[in-house]
Chains A and B, each alone.
Chain A
Amino acid sequence: MARFLLSRVGFGLLVLFLLSLFVFLLFFIAPGDPARVIAGDKATVEVLAQIRAKLGLDEPIYVQYWLFISNVFQGDLGFSYRNQLPVIDIVVDRIPVTVSLVFGGVILWLGIGIPIGVMSARKPGSVRDRLGQSFAVVGISFPSFVLGMMALYVLYFLPAKAGWKLFPPSGYIPLTVDPLQWAWHLVLPWCTLALVSAAIYARLMRGQMLEVLGEDYIRTARAKGLTERRVVYRHAMRSAMPPLVTQLGTDIGLMLGGVIVIEQVFGLLGVGNLAVSAVNNQDRPVVIGVVLLGGLFVVVMNIIVDTLYAFLDSRIRTAA
Chain B
Amino acid sequence: MSVLDVRHLNVRIPTEDGVIHAVRDVSFSVDSGDFFGIVGESGSGKSVLVQAIMGLIPGARITGEVWFDGHDLLTMKPDALRKIRGRAISMIFQDPLSSLHPQFTIGWQIVEQIRTHRKVSRAEARRMTVEILGKVGIPDPDTRFSAYPHQFSGGMRQRVMIAMALVLNPALIIADEPTTALDSTVQAQILDLLHEMREEFDATILMITHDLTVLARVADNMMVMYAGHKLEAGPARELFARPAHPYTSGLLRSSPGNYEPGTPLVPIPGKPPSLLNPVTGCVFAPRCPDAMSKCWSETPPLRTYSNGLETSCWLTEAPSEPEASEEMQDVSTLPITVLNPNTTELATPIVQINDLELSFRSKRGRTSVDVLRGIDLAIFRGETLGLVGESGCGKSTLARVIAGLIPATGGKVHLAGHDLSTVNHEQWRSLRREVQLVFQDPYGSLNPRRRVGSIIGDPFRIHRISSGEKRKKSVQQLMELVGLNPEHYNRFPSQFSGGQRQRIGIARALALNPSIIIYDEPVSALDVSIQAQVLNLMSSLQKEFNLTYLFISHDLAVVRHVCDRIAVMDKGKIVELAATEQLYADPQHDFTKVLLEASAPEEKPQSRAFPELLSTVHAGDLTAGDLIAGGVR
Give the distance to chain A from B522, nearest Cβ to Cβ, in Å.
26
Q: Which among B90, B94, B117, B150 is the interface contact of A223 at CB below 8 angstroms?
A: B90
Q: A217 vs B109: C-alpha distance in the bound complex, in angstroms?
A: 11
Q: Are B56 and A219 in contact (CB under 8 A)?
A: yes
Which residues of B are found within 8 Å of A83, using beta-carbon distances?
A: none
Query: Is A25's beta carbon under 8 Å from chain B?
Result: no
Q: Does A248 make an interface contact (CB < 8 A)?
A: no
What residues of B have a CB within 8 angstroms of the CB of A176 in the complex?
A: none
Shortest distance from the beta carbon of A318 to any chain B beta carbon, whole Å: 6
Total cross-chain contacts (CB, 8 A) = 74
- Which one of A220, A225, A230 lies within 8 Å of B100 (CB-CB)? A220
Q: How far is the CB of B553 from chain A (nearest CB, A)?
A: 25
Please, which residues of chain A bring their CB within 8 A of the CB of B98?
215-217
B:89-108 near A, CB below 8 Å = 90-91, 93-95, 98-105
Residue B485 CB within 8 A of the other chain: no
- Asked whether any CB of chain B lies closer than 8 Å to the CB of A222, the reply is yes
Q: Note all chain A residues with C-beta closer than 8 A to B99.
A: 216-217, 219-220
Question: Which residues of B are found within 8 Å of A315, using beta-carbon distances?
Answer: 102, 148, 150
Pairwise interchain contact A314-B117, C-beta atoms closer than 8 A: no
Q: State how many angstroms separate the Cβ of A229 from the closest Cβ of chain B.
A: 11
Tell me the smallest distance from the CB of A148 to a CB of chain B, in Å: 39
B103 to chain A: which residues have CB within 8 Å?
Answer: 238-239, 312-314
Interface footprint category on B: 20 to 34
Asked if A226 is at the interface of the complex by the 8 Å CB criterion, the answer is yes
Q: In the complex, what residue of chain B is closest to A222 when comparing beta carbons? A: B56
Contact of B85 among A224, A239, A318 (CB under 8 A): A224
Q: Is B54 an interface residue (CB 8 A)?
A: yes
A314 touches B90 (CB 8 A): no
Judge whether A223 and B102 touch: CB under 8 Å. no
Majority SS of interface residues in chain A? helix
CB atoms of B83 and A225 under 8 A apart: yes
Distance to closest chain A CB from B50 (angstroms): 10
Is there a chain A Cβ closer than 8 Å to B113's Cβ?
yes
Asked if A74 is at the interface of the complex by the 8 Å CB criterion, the answer is no
Query: Are B101 and A217 in contact (CB-based, < 8 A)?
Result: yes
CB within 8 A of B95: which of A216, A224, A227, A239?
A216
Q: A112-138 vs B: 1/0 string, CB under 8 Å?
A: 000000000000000000000000000
- A67–B56 Cα distance when bound, in Å, is 69
Is the Cβ of A223 less than 8 Å from the Cβ of B100? no
**Which of the residues A217, A225, A312 comes within 8 Å of B86, measured between beta carbons?**
A225
How far, in angstroms, from A225 to B113 measured CA to CA in the complex?
A: 8
Residues of A within 8 A of B117 (CB): 225
Q: Name the distance in Å between B94's Cβ and chain A's nearest Cβ.
A: 8
A221 to B85 CA separation, bound complex (whole angstroms)? 10
| Cα distance A259–B168 in the bound complex, in angstroms | 55
Cα–Cα, bound, A124→B90 (Å): 28
**A225/B84 contact (C-beta < 8 A), A219-B93, A238-B101 known:** yes
Question: Is B151 an interface position by the 8 A CB rule?
Answer: yes
Bound-complex Cα distance A74 to B82 (A)? 65
For the complex, give the distance between the alpha carbons of A224 and B112 in Å: 9
Within 8 A of B (CB), among A146-167: none
CB–CB A223/B104 < 8 A: no
A235 contacts the other chain (CB 8 A):
yes
A211 to chain B, nearest CB (A): 13
Q: Is B395 an interface residue (CB 8 A)?
A: no
In chain A, residues 226-268, which have Cβ atoms closer than 8 Å to a Cβ of chain B?
226-227, 230, 235, 238-239
Complex: A217 Cα to B99 Cα, angstroms: 4
Contacts of B54 in A (CB 8 A): 223
Q: Tell me whether B101 and A221 are in contact (CB under 8 A).
A: yes
Q: Closest approach, in angstroms, between the C-beta of A218 and any C-beta of chain B?
A: 8
Give the residue of B87, B95, B161 whose beta carbon is less than 8 angstroms from that of A225.
B87
Docked Cα-Cα span, A211 to B44, in Å, equals: 26
- By a CB distance below 8 angstroms, the chain A residues around B105 are 314
Q: Which B residues between 540 and 587 are near A, CB-CB below 8 angstroms?
A: none
Residues of B within 8 A of A221 (CB): 101
Chain A nearest CB: distance from B16 CB in Å?
11
**How far, in Å, is A5 (CB) from chain B's closest CB?**
17
B359 adjacent to chain A (CB < 8 Å):
no
Q: How far is the CB of A125 from chain B (nearest CB, A)?
A: 10
Contact B95 A314 (CB under 8 A): no
Q: Give B79's nearest chain A residue, CB to CB.
A: A227
**Closest CB in chain B relative to A236 CB, distance in Å:** 10
Which residue of chain A is the closest to B87 with respect to CB atoms?
A225
Q: Would you give the 0/1 interface string for A49-60, flagging 1 where the beta carbon is closer than 8 Å to chain B?
A: 000000000000
Taking A215-B98, A238-B103 as contacts, is the C-beta distance between A223 and B148 under 8 angstroms?
A: no
Q: A319: nearest residue on chain B (CB-CB)? A: B150
The answer to whether B116 has its CB under 8 Å from any CB of chain A is yes
Shortest Cβ distance from residue B185 to the other chain A in the assembled complex, whole angstroms:
24
Q: In whole Å, how far is A243's beta carbon from the nearest beta carbon of chain B?
A: 13
Residue of A nearest to B114 (CB): A224
Residues of A within 8 A of B100 (CB): 217, 220
Is A223 touching B91 in the complex (CB atoms < 8 A)?
yes
B164 at interface by CB-CB < 8 Å: yes
A239 to chain B, nearest CB (A): 6
Closest B residue, CB atoms, query A234: B112
Complex CA distance for A227 and B100, rounded to whole angstroms: 17
For window 36-89 of B, CB contacts with A under 8 Å fall at 51, 54, 56, 82-87
In the complex the two chains form, what is the Cα distance from A204 to B84 in whole Å? Answer: 35
Closest residue on chain B to residue A317 by CB atoms: B148
Please give, as numbers and ranges, the residues of chain B lying within 8 Å of A239 by CB-CB distance: 101-103
Tell me the complex Cα distance, A307–B112, Å. 28
A225 (CB) vs chain B CBs: closest residue = B86
Residue of B87, B150, B161 touching A314 (CB-CB under 8 A): B150
In angstroms, Cα B100 to Cα A238, docked, is: 13
Chain B contacts for A230, CB-based, 8 A: 116
Contact check, A226 vs B112: say whether CB atoms are below 8 A apart.
yes
Considering only CB atoms, which chain B residue lies closest to A217 in the complex? B101
Given A221-B101, A222-B85, answer yes or no on A216-B164 (Cβ-Cβ < 8 Å). Answer: no
**Contact status A216-B93, CB under 8 Å:** yes
Most buried by B among A220, A226, A312: A220
| With known contacts A226-B116, A315-B102, A220–B93 Cβ distance under 8 A | yes
Contact partners of A227 in chain B: CB under 8 A: 82
With a CB–CB cut-off of 8 A, which chain A residues contact B112? 224, 226
Rounded to whole Å, the gap between the CB of B156 and the closest CB of chain A is 15
B56 touches A223 (CB 8 A): yes
Q: Who on chain B is nearest to A221 by CB?
A: B101
Q: How far is the CA of A48 from the CA of B95 in the complex (A)?
A: 76
In Å, the complex CA distance between A4 and B86 comes to 41
Query: In whole angstroms, how far apart are the Cα atoms of A230 and B98 in the complex?
Result: 19
Residues of B within 8 A of A312 (CB): 103
State whether B116 touches A225 (Cβ < 8 A): yes
Q: Which residues of B contact A225 (CB under 8 A)?
A: 82-87, 113, 116-117
Q: Which of A265-320 contact B (CB under 8 A)?
A: 312-315, 318
A75 CB to closest chain B CB (Å) equals 35
CB distance from A119 to the nearest CB of B (A): 16
Inter-chain contact A224/B151, CB cutoff 8 Å: no
Among residues of B, the one whose C-beta sits closest to the C-beta of A224 is B86
Chain B residue nearest to A235 (CB atoms) is: B101
Q: Point out the residues of chain A lying under 8 angstroms from B85, CB to CB.
A: 222-225
Chain B residues with CB under 8 Å of A215's CB are 98
CA distance A226 to B56 in the complex (A): 12
Q: How many angstroms between the C-alpha atoms of A221 and B54 in the bound complex?
A: 13
- Per the bound structure, the CA–CA distance linking A238 and B51 in Å amounts to 24
Contacts of B102 in A (CB 8 A): 217, 239, 314-315
Extra pairs beyond A216-B93, A225-B82, A226-B82 (8, CB < 8 Å): A219-B99, A222-B85, A224-B164, A225-B117, A226-B112, A238-B101, A314-B102, A314-B105
Q: List 5 A-B contacts (CB under 8 A).
A: A224-B164, A225-B84, A225-B85, A226-B112, A314-B102
- Kindly list the 5 A-B residue pairs having the minimum CB-CB distance in the complex, ordered from nearest: A225-B86, A225-B85, A216-B98, A224-B86, A223-B91
B contact residues vs A (CB 8 Å cutoff): 51, 54, 56, 82-87, 90-91, 93-95, 98-105, 112-113, 116-117, 148, 150-151, 161, 164
